[in-house]
Amino acid sequence: MDENSKHKRFGKDLTEGSVPRHLLHLAVPMLLANLLGTSYSIVDAIWIGRFVGKEAIGAVAVSFPAIFIFIGVAAGATMATTVLVSQFYGARNQSMLSKTIGTSFALTLILGVFSTAGGILAVSRILTVLGTPETVFPLAESYLKITFLSLPVMFMHFLVSSVLRGMGDTKTPLYFMAVGVTLNAILDPLMIIGIGPFPKMGLDGAAWASLICPIIGLVLCVAYLWRKGGALTAGVKFFSIDANIAKLIARIGFPSMIQQTSISFGIAAVTSIVNSFGAAAIAAFGAGGRIDSVAFLPAQSIGLAVSTLSGQNIGAGRYDRIPTVFKWGVIMTSCITVSLAIMFLSIPEILMTPFTTDPEVIEIGKGYLRIAAPAISFFAIMFVSNGVINGAGHTLTTLIFTLIAVWGIRIPFAAILSRGSLGVKGVWVSYAVGFSFTMCVSLLWYRSGRWKKAVVRHKAADTA
């Protein structure tokens, strides 16, 4: 009784009550947090574009695939934590919950430190492989080296958010991210332009601001959780690795990590193709990608909410609630992404203008957004069906879908179509084709019911 009472003080039980209400409870704070992050990156891009120049926008665009590779590593590695935390929380297993958090903490910290070292050593090689133009190379190299210093902090942010999300709490990460983003928004222009005591650092200033502010946000968040965490911190040994939990994390997290990094490498491959079309195409790709990322956010947030909701209910043996989770996930994400697609089609020039005044960049960016518009509906539905599959722990399945879509369809199509009359527009078309494929196979797998096969064993599930 005491154990369950302690367990219930923190987080939210998602195994009973209204499914759409639970989805909104989880997804809205995640969406707001993502919007905060994206809003900052958009403002950051505007500062850089207006006060540093076209080459700086290109440097950020070229750097993004390399950064996204490590974001993929963090997101993939901590996906296992969300799955295990949500299922153990749903099964009311405090002991396994504590072991999962402690083991995840130690492994994530180790991974973050090694990623920083590897990233800094490989910067020049990464940019060379991406075919970075000479005018952009020095800016991108310096920007990436500073950014890679922040990887351990970024990894820990992902971990804390993953643990809380698994327990049904997506509001706490939002609050502390708001603190970090606000500080970043203040510090960013001061360090880029050189105001007051700050020297003018240009693009490097943006990178340093993005390193300093998340550290402050993470320290505040961890201090708060240590005092208020309840079940989150009860019995947790943060530098202790449980062998059995580590195996489960590897089994679930490794495919997810490979999936995320394969997407990142895919973006890198696409970027290298875009680089061949010159600085204007790179800048348009960077600005268009920032706008396009806004469309990802609702689908991604709802997909993660579906994953958490599915995980808790599977842990509790409530498989009967999963079809309702899927249905409401599709309804919510479709309504949002269709509205955004209409904006992409109707006012692409207006959306591009804040980033640049260069007519050539705007024209290329308009083409990007118009072709991206239908694709966002495909990936919106894909995020929901993948959310159920991942929530059940079958991350290897979604990995296979992604590998085929990215490396079997998207990259070959981008390479072939861009060499013909479509030019760089062929790259944009390849995105739509890849997402449509992934949506179809993900839906078929969900409908087959194969995701019901247990990955993590629970008494609640076994007796259901």
- Among 132-146, 315-329, 432-446, the range scoring the smallest mean pLDDT is 132-146
Name the nearest CA neighbour of 108 among 146, 151, 148, 144. 151
CB distance 26 to 311 below 8 Å: no
pLDDT at 89 over 90: no
Structure confidence at residue 405 (pLDDT): 87
Is the whole-model pTM more than 0.85? no
Across the range 386-397, mean pLDDT stands at 88
Structure confidence at residue 427 (pLDDT): 86
The CA angle 247-252-255, to the nearest 5 degrees, is 115
| 13-22, 171-180, 264-273, range with greatest mean pLDDT | 13-22
DSSP state of 455: S
Structure confidence at residue 35 (pLDDT): 78
Q: Which residue has the tokens 């695939």?
A: 65
Structure confidence at residue 150 (pLDDT): 85
pLDDT at 232 over 70: no
The CA angle 367-51-213, to the nearest 5 degrees, is 95
- Distance separating alpha carbons of residues 86 and 279, to the nearest angstrom: 45
Q: Which residue has the tokens 């498989």?
A: 319
pLDDT at 329 over 90: yes
pLDDT band at 236 (very low <50, low <70, confident <90, very high): low
Neighbours of 188 (CB within 10 A): 21
Burial class for 220, CB neighbours closer than 10 Å (0-12, 13-18, 19+):
middle
pLDDT at 461 over 80: no
Residue 157 has φ and ψ, to the nearest 5°, of -60, -45
CB distance 131 to 105 below 8 Å: no
Name the nearest CA neighbour of 310 among 298, 302, 318. 318
pLDDT at 443 over 90: yes
Across the range 64-70, mean pLDDT stands at 77
- Distance separating alpha carbons of residues 412 and 69, to the nearest angstrom: 20
> Number of H helices and number of E strands within the chain?
17, 0
- Can you give the C-alpha Rg of the chain in angstroms? 22
pLDDT band at 436 (very low <50, low <70, confident <90, very high): confident
Structure confidence at residue 430 (pLDDT): 87
Average pLDDT, the chain: 82
pLDDT at 163 over 60: yes
Displacement of CA 417 from its chain's centroid (Å): 28
CB distance 304 to 387 below 8 Å: yes
Name the nearest CA neighbour of 104 among 239, 291, 288. 239
b (16+ CB within 10 A) / e for 22-45: bbbbbbbbbbbbbbbbbebbbbbb
- Distance separating alpha carbons of residues 60 and 66, to the nearest angstrom: 10
Residues with Cβ within 8 Å of 77's Cβ and at least 6 positions away in sequence, in order, are 107, 108, 111, 155, 158, 249, 253, 256, 257
Displacement of CA 132 from its chain's centroid (Å): 24
Q: Which pair of tokens denotes residue 117?
A: 């070292």
Q: Which pair of tokens denotes residue 217?
A: 């946000």
pLDDT at 265 over 70: yes
Across the range 265-279, mean pLDDT stands at 80
Q: Is the dihedral of CA 430, 433, 436, 440 positive or negative?
A: negative
pLDDT at 8 over 70: no
- Distance separating alpha carbons of residues 115 and 171, to the nearest angstrom: 28
Structure confidence at residue 230 (pLDDT): 60
- Distance separating alpha carbons of residues 180 and 148, to the nearest angstrom: 18
Kindly state the percentage of the chain with pLDDT values over 90: 8
The widest CA-to-CA distance across the chain, in whole angstroms, is 70
Across the range 69-77, mean pLDDT stands at 79
Distances (CA, A) of 67 to 37, 79, 126, 295: 15, 18, 11, 20
Identity of residue 337: T
